[in-house]
């Protein structure tokens, strides 16, 4: 990513979503499918099991968009989603991983 | 008592315990263990469709007529993919369905095995929820849960994909789970109800806007009570027709693309729109920015994602619409609202729904009126999708919730005949009329064999204009009259086809007394096709051009 493009990207407002889900095959498809069917790009995805592994936590980095509030409501409707929390883009979960994503 | 049962036997037993007495489907290799177990059930009757999509729509007809969760089944691969259209249709119209599909054995999943398809992946975006069952034990949890999800909140279809080895493997079962039923919805917030009641009290020109949620919630009576108490002129979406009797003095008909002129004009003037179980669908609103431009909005829906999706509500209430209306009713003051009711009456007189030929049974509206005259409100009316559907919506005197069975959101041609069969199977005491067209009927005509086999009391009224009417209409109006792929060059002998497939048929075009022939066909028990020629030039009017404001109607 060149410097200009990177600045453009950062100029876009971002949001981080923290989503607690049941941990079984297909849950990620349910979540990201809601975004892809609306041509809404997911910029970053992290997911690991939590505690005893019956639940996972998905972190999504997305662009701010007028559709974001509707997206959150749609995600909340999924049977396998337990909770959705919204954070600002500076949330440490993605910023601390930047070293792993150097070009 | 511990029993050793196969996954297939467990599945059937759980359906029995769920109270299911009728299932429809189509067998195939990967679901044969379940079919074998089903053959041993004395409680459940299986109706064999002639195509999996037919089975899906038969189940939908059962669910739409009764409000109960209905079950359809299919095998893996093409069986499952053929079900998908009916499942997507159920999703868009919020119909509670449990679809059970067979899958190749777990060890073969992902190997491109014979009749293997990713049913789970394919069904994600068109189901309310779906399951790929990975062990026989899981069935005890998944099946009741599927029914609970299908029936709870905003209803919808749930798919359960069961690998063949999960069906075949036997386990010990000593306790059975409780059947899955609808969970109670959260109650409406009292403060919002009070706010909504105050807005209704203050409004000068309110309109009550009923959607399919009113039917699903069984809240029609409460909606009528509210309309009467506060004198609220009431519009219905296509999905809500029947909630308010069409001839009720406060009924102002169906809104939207093919709504009556006075209906759309009244909405243009309203200062408060009370949306109840409606989702501001584009066919209802037209150009959203121009929809009810002067109105504040109260939006009541059980699905929180519907609030503020299309229009931002001034008061948004997440609740079962029946509960919300019951809370609202005592808090809304009586109001005769004479000025507004008089204004509505004036609009109705000045801009009525055009209904040409109402007394001529050889015309489209006349045929619909003649059929209605032969039947009472106990009859159910199913439709396919097209001009005939809109004409029936405009002209059939619907007076009862669940009387009207139509594919609204997905608009699926081929819906009508199997949905009518399902409704007739679920409620055999009723006469079920299916309005269809020469395009739609061919999309599931194989189900006439199912109708013949089951001897269901359905009357298929085929309005034959030898064209794809709504396509023909749009090409005529908006594509420079360049008719393309909308005129059928070959036309089957539908009366002969019906007879060949085993059901009675009458051709009204050949009848010297069409009214007598119609009455005879409608009153004789069992399935019958009633064929009537319609002029291809006839259009569905009024029509709001796609993307235009509802006030800009053609043919109004």
Q: Do B119 and B237 have their domain in common? A: no
Interface test with B, best of A37, A70, A76 (most B CBs within 10 A): A70
Per-residue pLDDT reduced to its tens digit, A30-87: 999 999 999 999 999 999 999 999 999 999 999 998 999 999 999 999 999 999 999 9
Q: Do B56 and B15 have their domain in common? A: yes
Per-residue pLDDT reduced to its tens digit, B115-170: 999 999 999 999 999 999 999 999 999 999 999 999 999 999 999 999 999 999 99
Which residues from A are below 8 Å from B308, CB to CB? 69-70
Q: Do B325 and B197 have their domain in common? A: yes
Sheet holding A81-88, edge to edge: A42-50, A55-63, A14-22, A81-88
Interface test with B, best of A24, A67, A77, A81 (most B CBs within 10 A): A77
Number of domains observed in the structure of chain A: 1
- Whether residues A73 and B132 touch (CB distance < 8 A) is answered with no
Q: Which domain holds residue A60?
A: 3-101
Q: Do B13 and B134 have their domain in common? A: yes
Q: DSSP string spanning B12-32?
A: HHHHHHTT--EEEEE--GGGH
How far B305 CA lies from chain A's nearest CA (Å)? 5
CATH code where residue B279 lies = 3.40.50.1220
How far A79 CA lies from chain B's nearest CA (Å)? 7
Asked whether residue B164 is domain-assigned, the answer is: yes
> Mean of the pLDDT values across residues B439-455?
98
- Which residue in the set B120, B128, B305 is minimally distant from A26, CB to CB? B120
CATH code where residue A42 lies = 3.30.70.260
Look up residue B221 and give its two tokens. Answer: 């009576």
Asked whether residue B285 is domain-assigned, the answer is: yes
User: Quick one: pLDDT at residue A3?
Assistant: 52
Per-residue pLDDT reduced to its tens digit, B193-237: 999 999 999 999 999 999 999 999 999 999 999 999 999 999 999
User: Quick one: pLDDT at residue B90?
Assistant: 98
Interface test with B, best of A67, A79, A84 (most B CBs within 10 A): A79
Q: Do B433 and B342 have their domain in common? A: no
- Which residue in the set B124, B132, B304 is minimally distant from A33, CB to CB? B124
Per-residue pLDDT reduced to its tens digit, B16-41: 999 999 999 999 999 999 999 999 99
How far A33 CA lies from chain B's nearest CA (Å)? 7
Task: Say if CB B234 and CB B267 are below 8 A apart.
Answer: no
- The last residue of one of the domains, among B350, B381, B415, is B350
Which residues from B are below 8 Å from A29, CB to CB? 121, 124
Q: Do B344 and B227 have their domain in common? A: yes
Q: Do B238 and B147 have their domain in common? A: no
Which residues from A are below 8 Å from B124, CB to CB? 26, 29-30, 33
Look up residue B454 and give its two tokens. Answer: 């089951």
Which residues from A are below 8 Å from B129, CB to CB? 78-79
Per-residue pLDDT reduced to its tens digit, B322-368: 999 999 999 999 999 999 999 999 999 999 999 999 999 999 999 99
Asked whether residue B217 is domain-assigned, the answer is: yes
Residue A1 banded pLDDT, cuts 50, 70, 90:
very low
Q: Do B30 and B164 have their domain in common? A: yes
Asked whether residue B180 is domain-assigned, the answer is: no
- Which residue in the set A30, A70, A73 is minimally distant from B124, CB to CB? A30
Number of domains observed in the structure of chain B: 3
Which residues from A are below 8 Å from B130, CB to CB? 26
- Which residue in the set A29, A76, A77 is minimally distant from B124, CB to CB? A29
Asked whether residue B50 is domain-assigned, the answer is: yes
What distance in Å separates the CA atoms of residue A84 and residue B1, rounded to the nearest whole number? 43
Residues 280-319 of B with CB under 8 A from A: 303-305, 308-309
Which residues from B are below 8 Å from A74, CB to CB? 305
Report H helices in B272-337.
Answer: 282-285, 321-328
Look up residue B388 and give its two tokens. Answer: 């005939």
Strand, coil or helix: B104? coil
Asked whether residue B550 is domain-assigned, the answer is: no
Q: Which domain holds residue B203?
A: 190-350
Q: b/e per residue, B354-372, with b = 16+ CB within 10 A?
A: ebeeeeebbbbbbbbbbbb
The rounded percent of chain B whose pLDDT value lies above 70 is 100
Q: Do B258 and B229 have their domain in common? A: yes
CATH code where residue B71 lies = 3.40.50.970
Q: Do B324 and B398 have their domain in common? A: no
User: Quick one: pLDDT at residue A6?
Assistant: 53
Task: Say if CB A18 and CB A57 are below 8 A apart.
Answer: yes
What distance in Å separates the CA atoms of residue B131 and residue A25, rounded to the nearest whole number? 10
Q: Do B103 and B236 have their domain in common? A: no
């Amino acid at each position: 990513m060149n410097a200009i493009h990177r600045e453009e990207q950062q100029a876009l407002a971002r949001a981080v979503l923290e989503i607690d889900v049941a941990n079984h095959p297909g849950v990620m498809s349910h979540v990201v499918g809601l975004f892809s069917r609306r041509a809404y790009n997911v910029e970053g995805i992290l997911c690991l099991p939590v505690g005893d592994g019956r639940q996972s936590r998905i972190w999504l980095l997305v662009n701010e968009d007028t559709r974001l509030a509707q997206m959150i409501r749609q995600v909340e409707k999924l049977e396998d989603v337990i909770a959705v929390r919204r954070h600002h883009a500076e949330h440490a979960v993605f910023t601390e991983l930047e070293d792993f994503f150097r070009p | 008592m511990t029993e050793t049962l196969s996954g297939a036997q467990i599945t059937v037993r759980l359906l029995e315990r769920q109270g299911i007495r009728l299932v429809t489907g189509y067998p195939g290799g990967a679901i044969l263990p379940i079919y074998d177990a089903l053959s041993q059930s004395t409680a459940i009757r299986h109706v064999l469709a002639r195509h999996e999509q037919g089975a899906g729509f038969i189940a939908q007809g059962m669910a739409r007529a009764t409000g109960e969760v209905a079950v359809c089944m299919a095998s893996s691969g093409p069986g499952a993919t053929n079900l998908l259209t009916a499942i997507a249709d159920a999703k868009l119209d919020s119909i509670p369905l449990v679809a059970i599909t067979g899958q190749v054995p777990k060890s073969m999943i992902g190997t491109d095995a014979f009749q293997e398809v990713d049913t789970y992946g394919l069904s994600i975006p068109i189901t309310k929820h779906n399951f790929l069952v990975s062990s026989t034990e899981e069935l005890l949890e998944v099946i009741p849960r599927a029914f609970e999800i299908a029936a709870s909140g905003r209803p919808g279809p749930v798919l359960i994909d069961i690998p063949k080895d999960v069906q075949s493997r036997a386990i010990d079962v000593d306790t059975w789970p409780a059947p899955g039923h609808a969970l109670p919805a959260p109650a409406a917030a009292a403060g919002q109800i009070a706010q909504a009641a105050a807005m209704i009290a203050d409004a000068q020109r309110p309109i009550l806007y009923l959607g399919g949620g009113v039917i699903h919630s069984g809240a029609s009576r409460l909606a009528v009570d509210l309309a009467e108490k506060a004198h609220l002129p009431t519009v219905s979406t296509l999905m809500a027709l029947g909630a308010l009797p069409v001839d009720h003095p406060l009924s102002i008909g169906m809104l939207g693309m093919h709504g009556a002129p006075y209906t759309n004009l009244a909405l243009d003037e309203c200062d408060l729109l009370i949306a109840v179980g409606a989702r501001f669908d584009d066919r209802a609103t037209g150009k959203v920015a121009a929809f009810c431009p002067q109105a504040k909005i109260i939006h009541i829906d059980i699905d929180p994602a519907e609030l503020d999706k299309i229009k931002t509500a001034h008061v948004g209430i997440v609740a079962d619409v029946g509960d919300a209306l019951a809370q609202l009713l005592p808090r809304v003051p009586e109001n005769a609202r004479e000025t507004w009711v008089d204004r509505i009456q004036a609009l109705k007189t000045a801009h009525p729904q055009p209904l040409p030929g109402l007394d001529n049974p050889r015309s489209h509206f006349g045929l619909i009126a003649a059929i209605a005259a032969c039947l009472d409100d106990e009859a159910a009316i199913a439709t396919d999708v097209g001009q005939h559907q809109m004409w029936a919506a405009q002209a059939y005197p619907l007076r009862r919730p669940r009387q009207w069975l139509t594919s609204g959101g997905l608009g699926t041609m081929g819906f009508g005949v199997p949905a009518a069969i399902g409704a007739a199977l679920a409620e055999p005491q009723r006469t079920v009329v299916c309005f269809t067209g020469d395009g739609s009927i061919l999309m599931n005509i194989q189900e006439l064999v199912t109708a013949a086999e089951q001897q269901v009391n359905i009357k298929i009224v085929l309005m034959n204009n030898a064209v794809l009417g709504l396509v023909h209409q749009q090409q005529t109006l908006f594509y420079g009259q360049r008719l393309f792929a909308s005129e059928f060059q070959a036309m089957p002998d539908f009366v002969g086809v019906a007879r060949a497939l085993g059901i009675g048929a009458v051709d009204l075009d050949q009848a010297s007394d069409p009214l007598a022939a119609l009455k005879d066909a409608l009153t004789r028990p069992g399935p019958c096709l009633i064929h009537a020629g319609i002029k291809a030039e006839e259009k569905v009017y009024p029509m709001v051009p796609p993307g235009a404001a509802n006030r800009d109607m053609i043919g109004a």
